[in-house]
Amino acid sequence: MAEPRPATDPALGVVIVTYRSSDVIAACIASLRAATGVALHVVVVDNASPDDTVEVIRAAVPDLMGAAEAGQDGIALIEAGSNGGFAAGVNLGLARLAANPALDRFWLLNPDCVVPPETPALLASHDPGPRGAAMIAHRVVYGDAPDKIQIDGGVIDRRTGITHNLNQFASADSPAPDPSQIDFVTGASLVATRAHLERAGPMTEDYFLYYEEVDWALRRGDLPISYCERAVVHHVAGTAIGSQRMGSVASPFSQYFKHRARAMFLRRHFPAGLIGGAAWSLAKAAQLRAQGHGAEAAALLRGFFGMAPPGAVLAALSPDTRAKIGR
């Protein structure tokens, strides 16, 4: 993005929410700056990172713009001042970008993602068909195993609230999924349209972490989800909060907030699934304990059944975050 771009290049707004992302954000930004055939309007929202994430961003972007310039072609930084969670950061970025009437698509991108130079232009110019689209899904592969798919779009088990990744672990050259089978697009790399934003409104913020994008997708009405077949994003999961990665178990922090959010999601959208959700939680916790992951099992149960976070999880939260989740 450092070089002038032709006026005919399609435009794409990008929101990146950072928190303790100093180890990954520079590579993410570098990959976006190498994008071709697209005018990117990037807003990085930092949720009060306690490390040197902001300093790394400033060093990576010599021409960094201020928050007031967000929405222009380039990269701007918004320092949120507190950690209100993923959706709160997204909503700050979306509000700034949506004020630019030239932007019709908004790409939510995790800081631990790296994108090939052609992917942004593919997402910006993808034709969803005559019905339009609420969201545009695309292939996300594992950053440390790029020959394996992480997710091609997600589906929801309404009986338990568990979500499943389409084509997970399949070869990266596998056929694309039928977009009509996709229930939601992963928040790690999600393109939403202005039509969806105007219909659904901003993301719901009280989940804090996880299920925000699942909830958002269910508020799309009759707007379909489209799939951009040639776009690929490389995602290294779990760099800040310990989400599950290939061959690993999610951290107690991740377990607590994921299953807390799942229970909230079920109550809002599929309350009949709370019984199945509870049974699944008990069975999964028993499995984790049998595998020697007692702390993870306890965190899962405390999250789903609405209890306070385990001490180690609580200690990792700042005072403003504890207030945000009501603890």
More confident residue, 4 or 10: 10
71 pLDDT band, cuts 50/70/90, is confident
Helix H, strand E, coil C: the string for 107-162 is EEECCCEECCCCHHHHHHHCCCCCCCCCEEEEEEEECCEEEEEEECCEEECCCCCC
Looking at residue 238, what is its pLDDT?
Answer: 56
Q: How far apart are CA 221 and CA 192, in angstroms?
A: 14
Do residues 15 and 97 make contact, with C-beta atoms less than 8 angstroms apart?
yes
Using one digit for the tens of pLDDT, what is the confidence trace for 179-196?
Answer: 999 999 999 999 999 999
Average pLDDT over residues 226-253: 80
Using one digit for the tens of pLDDT, what is the confidence trace for 30-67?
Answer: 999 999 999 999 999 999 999 999 999 999 999 998 87
Looking at residue 2, what is its pLDDT?
Answer: 45
pTM of the model: 0.94
Average pLDDT over residues 146-158: 98
Looking at residue 135, what is its pLDDT?
Answer: 98
- As given in the structure block, the two tokens for residue 224 are 């379909």
215 has a pLDDT exceeding 90: yes
Residues in the chain: 327
Looking at residue 326, what is its pLDDT?
Answer: 65
Q: Which of 189, 191, 183, 188 is nearest to 154 (CA)?
A: 183
Q: Which of 80, 119, 92 is nearest to 15 (CA)?
A: 92
Looking at residue 241, what is its pLDDT?
Answer: 56
Using one digit for the tens of pLDDT, what is the confidence trace for 84-106?
Answer: 999 999 999 999 999 999 999 99
Q: Which of 19, 65, 10, 9 is nearest to 42 (CA)?
A: 65
- Rounded mean pLDDT of the chain? 93
Q: What are phi and psi of 169, to 5 degrees?
A: 75, 0
